[in-house]
Structure 1
Amino acid sequence: MSGQQRELTMRFLAEPTDVNYGGKVHGGVVMKWIDQAGYAAAVGWSGTYSVTVAVGGIRFVAPIRTSDLVTVRTKLVHTGTSSMHFAVEVSARDPMGGEPRLCTHCVIVFVALDQVEGKPTPVPDWTPVNDDDRELAEYAMQVMELSKGIEQTVERYRLAGEL
């Protein structure tokens, strides 16, 4: 049932194969978890296959250690015609106790695709209902605007042959 699942939480156990030489979980592994949770959230909202189109404002705040229980929380904060923006928060804690600590946060954007031609297809609309929702929606849009500015700068350098 599309348009019903605004929030989703997934949990992962940080395994020895997830860590780098410093003994902390690779940023790429964390990004994979973010993408997996985002996909599940996007499909839950749209009711159809969806693809990642952007990740913005990703910040690695604290390391994740081997054996940590990792929680990835997604929350829909904006919809376009076929796009869905999710605020994502990654926290970790010792599974035998202890307080969770914020490790990573970002905004991830998915586009819903129709299953016949693979073209963007409309998603159920979502409208902020309170001040927290409006602030999160505004934050998501600011993060994506900053990302567009970075893309334009990189393209300018690429065209000038400096990259």
Structure 2
Amino acid sequence: MPGTERSLTMRFLAEPKDVNFGGKVHGGAAMKWIDLAAYGCAAAWSGKYCITAYVGGMRFVQPVLVGNMVEVEAKVIYTGRTSMHLGIEVRAGDPTSSEKHLTTHCVAIMVAVDDKGKPVPVPEWVPVTENDIFMRDSAIRLMRMREKITEEMSAHLS
């Protein structure tokens, strides 16, 4: 039911095919996992097909090793009329231990669309806890910052 599933956690093992030349999991693999989790979370929240509009603030904190159990958590932190802002954390560690360390984090914005690709409304998410309110307020501050960054980035477009 749309508007009820706010978060999604995907779990899987990091595979040898994900390794870069340095012997660690490639950053692009982590980016793919983030996009998959963002889609799953946004689609569950909205009850619609969703597209990625933005991924930003990506920080690679620690490497993921082949054989690590990887957990990618996506959580709705703000909703606009047709968009959902998601806080995403990637954690990894030895599969025989419950201890996982933060490896990557970012914010993703997903937009719900109809079968013609036109944006459609999403259920509103209302923060309840102090942390929820903090995350929502952070998402709003980030929106304002992105507007300024967009202006600056236009100088780099030909």
Range into which the TM-score falls when normalised by the shorter chain: over 0.9
| Amino acid corresponding to residue 122 of structure 2 in structure 1 | V
Code of the aligned partner of 1:146: M
TM-aligned CA deviation for residue 49 of structure 1: 0.4
2:113 is aligned with what amino acid? L
Return the offset for 1:128.
Answer: 0.9
**Structure-2 residue corresponding to 1:48:** 48
Distance across 1 between alignment mates of 2:31 and 2:59:
11
State the 1:98 CA deviation: 5.9
Alignment of 1:15-26 (within 5 A): 15-26=15-26
Q: Which of 121-130 and 146-155 deviates more?
A: 146-155
Q: Distance in 2 between matches of 1:95 and 1:108?
A: 27
List gaps (5 residues or longer) in structure 2. none
TM-score, length-normalised on structure 1?
0.91
Q: Give 1:23 shift.
A: 0.8
2: CA distance, partners of 1:3 / 1:50: 14
Residues 49-68 of structure 1, C-alpha deviation per residue, up to 9 Å, x if partnerless?
Answer: 00000011111100000000
Give runs of aligned pairs for residues 1-163 of structure 1, distance below 5 A. Answer: 1-97=1-97, 99-115=99-115, 117-158=116-157
Q: Distance in 1 between matches of 2:91 and 2:155?
A: 36
Alpha-carbon offset, residue 146 of structure 1: 3.1
Q: Does structure 2 conserve the Cα–Cα contact (< 8 Å) formed by 1:77 and 1:87? A: yes
Aligned residues: 158
Q: What TM-score results when the alignment is normalised by the length of structure 2? A: 0.94
- Deviation of residue 129 (structure 1)? 1.1
Q: Please tell me whether the aligned partners of residues 107 and 143 of structure 1 are also in contact (alpha carbons under 8 angstroms).
A: no
| Aligned Cα root-mean-square deviation (Å) | 1.3
Q: Quick check: 1:63–1:103 contact (8 Å CA) kept in 2?
A: yes
Task: State the SS of the aligned residue for 1:40.
Answer: helix
- 1:23-79 superposed Cα distances (whole Å, 9 cap, x missing partner): 111111101000000100011000010000001111110000000010001111100
> What secondary structure does 2:2 align onto?
coil
* Secondary structure, aligned partner of 1:63: coil
Letter in 2 for 1:138: D
User: Match of 1:155, as an amino acid?
Assistant: S
Task: Quote the Cα distance in structure 2 between the aligned partners of 1:98 and 1:121.
Answer: 39
Gaps of 5+ in 1: none
Counterpart residue identity of residue 110, structure 1: M
Alpha carbons 1:62, 1:103 under 8 Å: kept: yes
Take 1:98 and 1:82, find their aligned partners in 2: how far apart are those partners?
Answer: 37
